[in-house]
Every structure is written in C-alpha cells, then in structure tokens.
Chain A
C-alpha cells in the first residue's frame, strides 16, 4: 500500500581527512529517506559524529557530496535541528532564552519567538521551567531543553549525536519513548548516532552499522516492523533478535578490520 519513501538527502563517496592527517571517513555513502528513524551505529572513533556534522553542513567533506534531494535551494540550515552529546546550554541564560537561540540567530525577536519557545518546551514537558537556569535542572531535563532548542525551528531533519549517552538508564528509556512520540507528532526525519545496540534496535526504522576508522557503512539492517515501542517490545523476541543481528554485524566489522 505504501510507495517507497522519498530520499531526503544523499551522501555519495564522502571522505573526510582532518588537518592532522587522520582519515575519519572513506567512501561513505548512504541515503536518508523522508520520515525514517535512521541510526548510525559503530565503535567509538569510527566517524559517526563526523558524518553527522557533514550532513548538518557544519563541516565540509574532503571529497564526495552531501546532497539534498529535490529543491535546488542551497541553504538548508533552518531545516536542521542538531542535538549534541552534551546538553550544550548557555549557563548564563534561562531555559526560554536557550530555546530561543536558533530563532534568535535567524533574526526572530524574543517577543515573536515566545509562542514557539513555549510550544517547544511543552513538547518536551518543560513548559513550567521557562524561567529556570540550566544549573537548576537535572541531566535529563537539560537534555530535554537541548531537544526543545533543536525543535524550535520545526526542522525537517533532526540530527542527534549520542544525545542520551551520559544519562542513566531509567532517564534514557523515558527519553527514548518521548523522542519517538515527538517524531510521530512532528513528522520529522531523525538521524541518530549511538554506540548502544539496544538503543538503536529500540528506536530505529533502519540501522546502518559502520566500520572502525576510516568509517564506512558495512551493514544495513531494517528495524523492527511497526510494532508499538513499549516495555513489552523491550522484552520481545523480535527485539532480542534484532539486537543480536546488530551486535553480530558490529563484531564482524571489528574482526574484518583486524584481518
């Protein structure tokens, strides 16, 4: 009944060599499809974060192309939300002003942005905290603010760089569920970098496994079918098998590199 989802963005033959001579990515190629939840999984240092930065346009590839499908517009920055590994909030500004930052940089005044700020905070359940300062918040709440900030421009593409890596498991599970709900409500595409097999298996509609440095895609694994994601899913056979598949692919990547 469904036609295959359209491509949103395509990476082709992308390599990235840093100034110090380290090759982070070699001949990386994959596409991001509209509406999917794509996870990039790989050992640490395999260039996952670098790939995310290239997609965001913060860094430029040494060779290869990162192309948005369709429109010829060159400036896609207002269509991207970026969530870092750390909350990366401005400690001197309260929560509302932190969420305002992307809008402010796009030239929206605080008054005009207020409605959007509160909507974004409501999405992550923090609308009562607009006046609080980051130091008054727990780690999980800071991350929620960071997500609210990324959503403030209502991006088509949400890029997340191991956003929950530093959180405890209980908070992490809850934020996983919240993230899936947000994605459903806002209909955005998510590219999610993680080194957690379980997280990728729980969240994704598609998983790309990357090799150790220089990173490239060595396996593509479809995520679990549209089963509802809840506590039952976490204990289901399908979920366990998926984790096993991803885990094996990762192990193969490590030995393949050593050989």
Chain B
C-alpha cells in the first residue's frame, strides 16, 4: 500500500522570524513620546512637583535606588508568593470540583462571590484581622486565585467527549464501587484532563500574574494610607504625601516594568509548554 511521505523535518521548527518593523515602530513611538514630554516640561518650565521631566525621573531612580530596590523586592515577593499560592489553591480546588459534582455545587458559587467582590473593599478588613504582610499577601492571592480556578476548571471539562467514551470503553473497570469509580476518574484526570487543561490553565496564569501584582499594590496602598509599609505602592503613597513627585514616577516605572517582566516570563513559559502541539504556540507561517 502506498505510504504517505515523511513530513519535512523543518516544518514547524523553522525559527520564528520577527518583522523588524514590529520592534522598531513601538520603540520609535516610545522615544518620540519621551522626547515630547521632556521638550514640553523644559519649554513650559513645568515645576517638578507637577510633572517631572523623564531625565529627572531617571536621575531620581539612580539616586533613590537602594530605597526603591528594597521596595521592589517587597512587592515582587508578595506578588510571586500570592501567585504561587493562587496556583496551588486554584488548581487543587479545580481538580476537587471536577472530581465531585457535590463539591462543585457546594463551593463554586462562593468562589464567584469572592471574585466579583471588588478586592479593594476587602483590603481594609484584611488589615484589621491580619498582620500587615499577611494581609497584603492574602489580597494578592485573592485576586489571582479566580482566573486560575475558572480557567483550570474550563480546561478540565473541555476534553473531547469521544476521548472520554474511549476511556469508558477501555478504562473503567466493570465493577461500579465508589472506590473503582474514583480510581477511574483519577486515571481520566491524569491521562486526559490534565493535558487538555494545560492551555487554558496557562492563559489563566498569565492573567493571574498581572492581577496578583494589582492585588499586592491595592493592599499596599490600603496599608500605606494607615502609615505603614515598605512596598513600591507604599512608596508611591508616601511620595505623594511628601510631594516627591519624581520618586513617585520612578516607583511607577518600576511597577510597570515588573508587570511587563511578569507577563513576558509567563508567556515564555506558556510557549515552552505548548510549542509542540497547541495552535496558540505555533507560528502562523506553518
């Protein structure tokens, strides 16, 4: 019988070439924006406590680096720890909910309530009941938790129905005790649902990364207005009180860079994990 020919080895493994314009154009727009800002501040002689020039912000960044670096580390630790706990909790709960309908019906509505309540409203409460560090962490965890939970659940449920039937055909043992049912569900979870859930989980992780940072910032601000704290958001509040606007901007720049770095890191992770098989990780040329 005729054999189909072997696929080209290069197919799908071609190094992705990025159009240089896609890097050049945003860089140009960015530089133009900074230039216009600098020019305007100088020409109109805007005082630095209203709008500092980019050059002054850069100088402040260097001058206050020790202080800002310490704050950055604090916020980063909270963000990453919050994200990590959200992943552990979100995935664990999603698996639990997917294994048992009873658990799903009893708990899922509360997860939604937790999500739709604006977390900034919870932050002051958390600060009453917990030490400040723990409250900030809890806040970051709370906002990052839901996207992980809901996306993982979606993924666990999105297995091809025919594959599950195949699983029923070959996998389940004919005895229908609770124990054997649980065992076959765990088997399906591992062989079918876990890989199927990976792409939505990673998408959720990317969202959760950004949200975890937001949660940390919100909680730090709530804590900061009470006059305590050491993270970047606290520096922002403090700088505002002291009219040290250049430092406020410097802290803001660091926060933005943190968000970008987090996003790029999680995107790279997602690409690495999915590049062999998932559409989202394939270049459009193939």
Contact = CB atoms under 8 A, between A and B. Distances in A.
A106 B170 contact: yes
Nearest to B276: A133
Contact of B166 (A92, A101, A135): A101
Interface residues of B, number: 30
A21 interface: no
B11 to A, nearest CB: 7
A57 B169 CA distance: 7
11 contacts: A58-B168, A58-B169, A78-B170, A84-B166, A90-B195, A93-B195, A93-B277, A101-B170, A126-B4, A133-B277, A137-B7
B163 A90 contact: yes
B192 A90 contact: yes
Interface string B29-60: 00000000000000000000000000000000
Contacts of B19: none
Contacts, number: 79
Given A105-B187, A125-B2, 17 more contacts: A58-B165, A82-B165, A88-B162, A88-B163, A90-B195, A92-B196, A92-B276, A92-B278, A102-B166, A104-B191, A128-B3, A133-B276, A133-B277, A135-B277, A135-B282, A174-B2, A181-B1
B1 A92 contact: no
B6 A129 contact: yes
Contact of B278 (A91, A102, A141): A91
Interface residues of A, number: 40
A141 B167 contact: no
B285 interface: no
B166 A82 contact: yes
Nearest to A178: B1
Interface in B163-178: 163, 165-171, 174
